[in-house]
Chains A and B, each alone.
Chain A
Amino acid sequence: MSLAAFATLLERLAFTPQRLGKERLLTAAFTDLPDPERGFMLAALTGDLKLRQVTPSLLRGLTEMRADAQLFSYSYDFVGDLAETISLIWPEGTRSDPPLSEVVDELATTPKTRLPALITARLDSLGPSERYAYLKLATGALRVGVSARLARSAFAAWASLPLTEVEEIWHALQPPYLDLFAWAAGTAPRPEAAARAPFRPVMLSTPTDLDQLSTLDPAAYAAEWKWDGIRIQAVSDGGTRRLYSRTGEDISAAFPDIVELMAFDGTLDGELLIRREAEVAPFGDLQQRLNRKTVTPAMLRSHPAGLRLYDVLIWNGEDLRDQPYDTRRAVLVKAVAPLGPRIDLSPELTFQTWEDLATLRLNPPATVIEGVMIKRRDSPYLAGRVKGPWFKWKRDPHLIDAVLMYAQRGHGKRSGYYSDFTFGVWNGDELVPVGKAYFGFTDAELKDLDRFVRNNTVERFGSVRSVARSKVVEVAFEGLNRSTRHKSGVAMRFPRINRIRDDKPAAEADHLSTLQALLDKD
């Protein structure tokens, strides 16, 4: 596959609306392309090409050598996608059409210091849609409307293989997947997970409420707290220990204190939390340890991590995923006991009726609990978000009425709309910004907000518009942290615009004191 053909495929995938149409394009590509091109194509779509040294800031720097920085910034603001902006703004040069494998190979093997020259030379010798494909490849964020799962399921359909079997071994495979395609062709056996301690697909829940639950028999379900940390999978396999995020990313390096404690042989499902003695710290504390490649001894002392376990997938070589929840739970209870205080069990809740559970949900013993989890006692451990066996019943969000203050254009599929909003509440007779939200609204509400911004701009600061202080929105959020960075002294967690309050005049929006009271309660 040449880069131009790859660019055409990306374009067609992006503009083909139906899933079926996208699958058809992909299966045609699997048939038509030779190895290793099709493997690289598949890896590009599943996000498994590890070319991540190419950072947005590197690309910005290169572009600013070719175009005025300010014009570039206006353009990016308008287009809303870095790769697309660069592909369109880059000056026209000669045209070439290298094979995909050549491009992938050189991006993967070129030393970091020589990358800028390599990328510039490539961009100089490609047409706009090839530049786009090249940059998407280099940054690893294709965003062409094809999820990794869709790409894998198209592959499984094309190869006439069960998707679950493909998913199961996926994390141990390496692009360009020659062994996988050989398995599909029937010329080789199923590639066994070569790496030790592989990641297994995680079971996810769907949201529920009292109405939905009332149709179900409470005796058939177990319940436990929903802890507000990050969901992880802890795997210890023949001496190899790994901690995975729920998407399969290896985060072991950031949590050596946990890895050290993983003296078992099996695959466990649980929540990573920051724990000081018996008390679980708020999510903000955990955030400080995430996204770090290494962790300092001081951080290990001030922010000690712990593991609270929900489930067991594999134990001492036995795969338990087909067993019912109750059976796995019994194994888990025994398994946890010797692991010591920093690894413990997420306790089951006792309830007879859904109303009992509703009462528990309203009065959790700790603020880091964000609701309850409900699990069918006879359910096996299934990959993905299957509707039915597992439910999450989150606590209701906090709500305030705030006044729209500033707006910026959105990016990605929101580009062209004013969709990033800063809102504020009253402090005396002055509005102070308390947060930013860029989702939560419906498409119709977005159009309404966009129109409001365009017609009520009172001032412009570069890409930011200051709007007339007349639009009230109801903001929902999950929690509140103290903040020294914000003038208001508070920072919201997960704020989103719940609805537009055109029925409410700006003067009747909430006051900062309402938020401060909430902070004191927490």
Chain B
Amino acid sequence: MAKPPLLHPRPEGLYCPAGDFFIDPTRPVPRALITHGHSDHARPGHGAVMATRQTLDIMAIRYGEDFAQSRQPAESPTRIGDVTVSFHPAGHVLGSAQIAVESPTQRIVVSGDYARVPTPTCLPFEPVPCDIFVTEATFALPVFRHPPPEVEIARLLASVAAFPERSHLIGAYALGKAQRVIAELRRAGWDAPIHIHGALQRLCDYHVAQGIDLGHLRPATEGKKSDFAGAIVIAPPSAFAATWAQRFPDPVIAFASGWMQVRARARQRGVELPLILSDHVDWPHLTATIAELDPAEVWITHGREDALMRWCELTQRAARPLHLVGYEDEAE
């Protein structure tokens, strides 16, 4: 490319010299643009933070109101220095956005994390034409072909029906995945109360306040052991190792994650019912998105960059790995 790109990687993260800001920096910086609220992308301690209103709210819930010195909700295209930035839905979690950075001669889209399967919990991914597409590669291996969510929810409900005397404990990360599981269960017609771990309460409340119907939620600490027979309980995966899990009768341990497609991963976690439920693009969606956008260059942030580089080589696309450190390689 003849003209220098608007962004380049620095140890803190992707940097835009023309606007003097970073996107999803992993260390505190004077000005940060944040794609979404997961803790490896949204960190506290920056000077000024620009993000969608929902992402700013989520950061305030997670880190407290003083997570940054100043904040600016991204609403319409905004000029910063010599570039214009705009935020576009990424379909990953509530508030998630791709960030488009453009000058009169170049547009780069930083997708953050993204998904193409529509979910009840956030706006769908919006394809934005661009010269350089900066993509994640979390599930960038051709073995990852995630089944439709309704298939996985049906497996969960079949297991609940098969073991009416046991409770089902579903491990799901607190932002996005937990609400996604709840919303998918509601969509499948499960209308009994769903019991949630205390760590999920505030983020679930926030989803409800944003107009996402999660039905009847109840703290998992209420009730005696026998009340949980046949019940569905959702908690962050870390809770399962704690004594917290002992209150439930002979629980079936489930885990909702795209990694559950690999058996060994499920077994390592002691999972009895792996649910393949991802908020990232799988291989067909990832490669189809790149083909659809057809950018002049693909930049790869984190994940299985080797494999995506190879695919780009096979399809004769210019691509480079950024080797950004600090993003969770395998948490989902």
Contact A15 B145 (CB under 8 A): no
Cross-chain contact of A80 among B144, B145, B264, B266 (Cβ < 8 A): B264
A88 at the interface (CB under 8 A from B): yes
Question: Within 8 Å CB of B267, what residues of A?
Answer: 14-15, 145, 413
Is B86 an interface residue when CB atoms closer than 8 A count as contact?
no
Known: A17-B272, A75-B142, A78-B141. A68 touches B314 (CB 8 A): yes
- B191 adjacent to chain A (CB < 8 Å): no
Which of B50-58, B124-132, B305-313 lies on the face that meets chain A? B305-313
Number of A residues, CB within 8 Å of B: 29
Which of A14, A17, A79 gathers most chain B CB within 10 Å?
A: A79
Main SS at interface, chain A:
helix
With A and B bound together, what is the CA distance between A84 and B267 in angstroms?
14
Query: A368–B304 Cα gap in the complex (Å)?
Result: 47
Q: CB-nearest residue of chain A relative to B274?
A: A15
Contact with B along A64-83 (1 / 0, CB 8 A): 00011011101100111100
CA distance A128 to B147 in the complex (A): 11
Tell me, in angstroms, the Cα distance from A398 to B266 when the chains sit together: 36
Q: Is the CB of A15 within 8 A of B262?
A: no
In the assembled complex, the Cα of A89 lies from the Cα of B141 at a distance in Å of: 9
Residue of B nearest to A68 (CB): B314
Task: Tell me whether A415 is interfacial, beta carbon within 8 Å.
Answer: yes
Kindly report which residue of chain B lies nearest to residue A132, judged by CB atoms: B263
Do A71 and B311 have beta carbons less than 8 Å apart?
Answer: yes
A85–B274 CA distance with the chains assembled, in angstroms? 17
A75 touches which one: B272, B273, B307 (CB < 8 A)? Answer: B307
Size of interface on B: residues with Cβ below 8 Å to A: 26
A413 touching B268 in the complex, CB below 8 Å, given contacts A78-B143, A88-B261: yes
Whether B265 sits at the interface, judged by CB under 8 Å, is yes
With A71-B311, A74-B310, A78-B143 as known contacts, state yes or no: A416 contacts B330, CB within 8 Å.
Answer: yes
The reply on B42 being an interface residue by CB < 8 A is: no
The answer on a CB contact under 8 Å between B143 and A70 is no
**A90 vs B144: C-alpha distance when bound (angstroms):** 11
Give a binary string over B236-270; 1 marks a CB under 8 Å from any A CB, 0 the rest. Answer: 00000000000000000000000001111111101
**Residue ID in chain B nearest A417 by CB atoms:** B268
Q: Within the complex, what minimum Cβ distance (angstroms) separates A15 from chain B? A: 5
A78→B304 contact, CB < 8 A: yes
Minimum CB–CB distance from B263 to chain A (whole Å) comes to 6
Q: Verify if A481 is at the interface (C-beta below 8 Å from B).
A: no
- List chain A residues, Cβ under 8 A from B304: 74, 78
Name which of A17, A88, A462 has the most chain B CB atoms within 10 A of its CB.
A88
**Chain B residues proximal to chain A, CB less than 8 Å:** 141-145, 261-268, 270-274, 304, 306-307, 310-311, 314, 329-330
- For the complex with contacts A17-B270, A74-B306, 5 further pairs of A-B residues with Cβ separation under 8 Å are A15-B273, A71-B310, A79-B143, A79-B262, A416-B262
Q: Can you list 30 A-B contacts with CB-CB less than 8 angstroms, sorted by A residue number?
A: A15-B271, A15-B273, A17-B270, A68-B310, A70-B310, A71-B141, A71-B307, A71-B310, A74-B141, A74-B306, A75-B307, A78-B141, A79-B262, A79-B264, A80-B262, A81-B263, A84-B262, A88-B142, A88-B143, A88-B144, A88-B145, A88-B261, A145-B267, A413-B267, A414-B264, A415-B264, A415-B265, A416-B264, A416-B268, A416-B330
